[in-house]
Amino acid sequence: MRVGIIGGGISGVALALDLCRHAHLDVQLFESAPAFGEVGAGVSFGANAVRAIAGLGLAEPYGEVADRTPEPWQDIWFEWRRGSDAGYLGASVAAGVGQSSVHRADFLDVLASRLPAGVARFNKRAVSVEQQGPEACVRFTDGSEYRGDLLIAADGIKSAIRNHVLDGIGAEPAAPRFSGTCAYRGLIDSRQLRDAYRAAGIDEHLVDVPQMYLGLDGHILTFPVKQGRLINVVAFVSDRSSAEPTWPEDAPWVRETSQAEMLDAFAGWGAAARVLLECIPAPTCWALHDLAELPGYVHGRVALIGDAAHAMLPHQGAGAGQGLEDAYFLARLLGDPQATQDNLGELLAAYDALRRPRACLVQRTSFEAGELYELRDAAVGDDEQALGATLASRFDWLWNHDLDADVAEARARLGWQTRRTCA
């Protein structure tokens, strides 16, 4: 079976790595850039995503570059604090995992280095897709094309293939939508931050453990990357002046900005937050976009995964993890010798039926998490006792999801014999 993967981000490469281990699959991966590369710095993975990484056979390379909260706080995902004075509100605990994070580019590098020669092709930007019978054909800007039995679009929030799928199922086109939230980002040398906190009389515990500072229409998170040498900082601020915010079409989503602009956005916040931001001399500013929940991820022999299917806001640290769940689910099914061209349509129907509701719920609750952090949740508001209690258990359903049960359900739908997975 010829499988073409469009997009060389974390989800696409992870899927390709698993699929190319199987003799019955001929896998090609197409990346639009001249080489693999990720935009952004730290990315967080919940317990569910860590299990998917292990199930894809990637636990070892992930472990080479991943960070985790040091003992004795190793199970803490985030501590929650007031932005005004860093007062403690509570903590979210993920037993056995804690805050598992990695620098995006480092993770992609270790994955890509394991791809067999000849699987990846670069400078291949997809522009159109056509389907004729059991074959799908994707054309690239250089005039070349690829024909396969299955095309998997892992080409991100600006996917060139998404609307082919939506048009094929009779749905309206979908474009990225601006959330009204912008995020200032930067990396700080952990020793520098520790010295700055010590000089300001601020508890150095705030360096050691992932923190989330909450305030009205803003929140700031910190967690370590690069084996604790750097602290990843993301400071979110939301403009709620419009119910349907828009971003200028010609404006970049990411821009360099000044420290003064960032500090002005957080005027009135407490010392811990201010000293933290003062350690970032040249932040970047990101306009956060997501997608509406799609009515389908599959048309014929073309399927969407990752951000192409369900780009979401980062407020649950779940976006990359959902892409890895997609990859794990498809890898367990496509990698089975019982997967054939004859039952591929049923296989993809099971993917759509079982993965889409889960991913849509994670999209929806990622938005809702941002409302909670910024004291805009309709039920909780700025009630600190309710806020701490809610955050203590809010993510359990996300982290504890049984993805293998979904795979088993798909296999039952396909009428396949029971087969031990590689997880």
The CATH number of the domain holding residue 19 is 3.50.50.60
Number of domain units in the chain:
2
Name 415's Cβ contacts closer than 8 Å, sequence gap at least 6: none
> What per-residue confidence (pLDDT) applies to 68?
87
Same domain assignment for residues 370 and 331:
yes
Range of the domain at 271: 177-290
Give the per-residue pLDDT at 423. Answer: 44
Question: Does 156 share its domain with 256?
Answer: no
- Are residues 9 and 125 located together in one domain of the fold? yes
* Cα–Cα distance, 417 to 412 (Å, whole number): 8
Burial pattern 208-227, b for ≥16 Cβ within 10 A else e, equals bbbbbbbbebbbbbbbbbbe
* Helix spans in 56-173 (H): 59-65, 104-112, 162-168
Amino acid, single-letter form, for residue 274: R
pLDDT, tens only, 122-180: 999 999 999 998 999 999 999 999 999 999 999 999 999 999 999 999 999 999 999 99
* Six-digit token string for 30: 């197409």
pLDDT per residue as tens digits for the range 350-398? 999 999 999 999 999 999 999 999 999 999 999 999 999 999 999 999 9
205 with 321, same domain: the answer is no
The identity of residue 254, as a single letter, is: V
Residue 84 DSSP SS3: coil
Residue 144's CB is within 10 A of a number of other CB atoms, namely: 12
State the pLDDT at residue 37: 78
Look at residues 261, 290, 319 and tell me which one is the last residue of a structural domain: 290
Residue 186 has which token pair?
């930067």
Q: What is the pLDDT of residue 39?
A: 67
Matching residue, tokens 């995964």: 305
The answer as to whether 354 is a domain residue is yes
If asked whether residues 9 and 141 sit together in one domain, one would say yes
User: Both 299 and 181 in a single domain?
Assistant: no
Cα 180 to chain center, whole Å?
19
**pLDDT attached to residue 419:** 56
Burial class from Cβ neighbours inside 10 Å (0-12, 13-18, 19+) for residue 169 reads middle
Give the integer Cα–Cα distance in Å for 361 and 395: 12
Q: How far apart are CA 120 and CA 140, in angstroms?
A: 15
Question: pLDDT at position 303, please?
Answer: 98
Its pTM stands at 0.95
Within a domain: residue 388? no
Name the token pair of 83: 């932005």
Residue ranges in the chain whose pLDDT is less than 70:
38-41, 418-423
For residues 183 and 248, state if they share a domain: yes
Do the domain assignments include residue 343? yes
Q: Considering 81, 82, 185, 301, which one is annotated as catalytic?
A: 185
Q: Are 100 and 321 in contact (CB under 8 A)?
A: no
Domain for residue 88, yes or no?
no
Tell me, yes or no, if 185 is annotated catalytic: yes
